[in-house]
Amino acid sequence: PAVARSFIKNLKFILSVYDMPEDTINHVADELHTKAFPDGTYSSFVSLLTTERLEELTVDLTYYFDEYIAEDIVAKTLKKTDKDCYQAMEALIHNLNTMQSRAGAQVPFSSINYGTDTTAEGEMVIRNILLAEDAGLGDGETPIFPIHIFKVKDGINGQPGDPNYHYFELACKVSAKRLFPNFEFLDATFNAQYLKKLPDGTYDPNTEVSTMGCRTRVMGNTYDPTREVTCGRGNLSFTTVNLPRIALKHKDDIDGFWEELEEKIHLVHDQLIERLEIQKRRTVRNHPFLMGQGVWLDSDKLNIDDECGEVWNHGTLTIGFIGLAETLMVLTGKHHGEDGNAQALGLEIVGRFRELSDARSKKEKLNFSVIATPAEGLSGRFVKMDREVYGEIPGITDKEFYTNSYHVPVDYKITAFNKIRIEAPYHALCNGGHITYIEMDGDPLKNLDAFKAIVQAMKQMNIGYGAINHPIDYCPICGYTGVIGDECPRCGVRENQELTHEEVDAIRKQHGAKRLTSR
């Protein structure tokens, strides 16, 4: 809707350049606004920028101008609106990489989910956010935030012939250069069950599963099953279980392993409830943005000094786990990437997390969920603690970190498609968040077909959320982004080569990068 309003604003400006009287300009703009917003609100928005609507506008303008000028006015307005949209997307990315508003002067950890809007205005946003990400920051550096997540849906953008498939291809190209966007697959069985259609046949975006950061997913709602939506909700807190520690304690006693695992899961559930009770006693004044501005679901019903109370119940209470691979190696001698029996046990372990969490959700009428913990720092802390107790055990505690969540160990040689196949079943179990990473060697821009094939394989194997990592180097001299060996493929500067300021300026000028000596 904001793009349509920009179009109307730009049309008024361009009509003024053609010396149309102000009252006539306002009349034309008001008519367009009424067509775009029939009841005056965003909720009634009807696309202005379809081919049919633009042709209709051109015909209307021929009442005041000849046909050639009318067509020129519409074309110029559309071009300026597209430029404004690109600058808005560029500003979003640049601002989120410079707003040092978190503790320690960190930038906000932010994520954006997009890809399924089929209105002309929505497609303009999708295209321009991807182009702005592709352009990068400053001298072309890869942006850290926001994390881009492209939502993939057959019938919209998932297959050749879909209306937005070319944006899926663009997303793959940008991801092959910038690492983002990642991909959320709406056709995964555990995502598709929430999709609902609007009267016009399009999907309600509030029922399209979105994710935050590495792997935070909020959709199901045991507290209020009529509000299974993604907007206005979030994860309240999560606690992670050190699976290898339990396995090491009971490596020769599988019954003891299961007994302690269930004990720890119940303990975490109790702890999450206790923390929730503390959170509920916080007031709206303690959360001036989230609650005070009505961002959180049902918070608009509260006054400034009210306790947040029950509105928190829309959020999720999450239990996570680390080191499934090492756990399986302790219990079976092999991890799930190399042995089918280990895979079966791994699914049973994570399945127990989900089974007990679902049961607690029904009992408490709260949203307990299971997350594939992404905490890299914690995986290192756990192994250090366990090494002090159990010593150095080959393949378990003799390294710097446990393998994150259910991932196949990073040093294990396996094809991309086998890794996807092995990790896919865990996505269905981890309803609080999940991801599968694939590591590519070399420059994926030189083999986009392979890149797209991996993304399509994720979709076909029922992955919920996936990402492809690859080497990404940056030349500080000419701004080249890609795989760089000992010598930059664009400017030819070698690693550790000494250059004068004048030589650097000459190279930068040749390749369109910013000058150095002016700083």
Picking from 287, 328, 329, the residue whose alpha carbon sits closest to that of residue 311 is 287
pLDDT more than 70, % of the chain: 99
489 has pLDDT over 70: yes
**In the structure, what pLDDT confidence band is assigned to residue 114 with cuts at 50, 70 and 90?**
very high
pLDDT tens, residue by residue, 8-58: 999 999 999 998 999 999 999 999 999 999 998 888 899 999 999 999 999
pLDDT tens, residue by residue, 146-203: 999 999 999 999 999 999 999 999 999 999 999 999 999 999 999 999 999 998 888 9
pLDDT tens, residue by residue, 54-112: 999 999 999 999 999 999 999 999 999 999 999 999 999 999 998 877 777 788 889 99
pLDDT tens, residue by residue, 312-328: 999 999 999 999 999 99
User: At 399, which amino acid appears?
Assistant: K
SS percent in the chain: helix, strand, coil, step 5: 50, 10, 40
Confidence at residue 63, expressed as pLDDT on a 0 to 100 scale? 94
Confidence at residue 422, expressed as pLDDT on a 0 to 100 scale? 98
What are the residues whose beta carbons fall under 8 Å from the beta carbon of 260, sequence distance 6 or more? 246, 249, 250
Confidence at residue 214, expressed as pLDDT on a 0 to 100 scale? 73
Confidence at residue 517, expressed as pLDDT on a 0 to 100 scale? 46
Q: Give dist(CA 420, CA 459) in Å, integer.
A: 10
Confidence at residue 464, expressed as pLDDT on a 0 to 100 scale? 97
**Mean pLDDT, range 219-240, rounded to an integer:** 95
pLDDT more than 90, % of the chain: 80
Question: What is the end-to-end Cα distance of the chain in Å, rounded?
Answer: 41
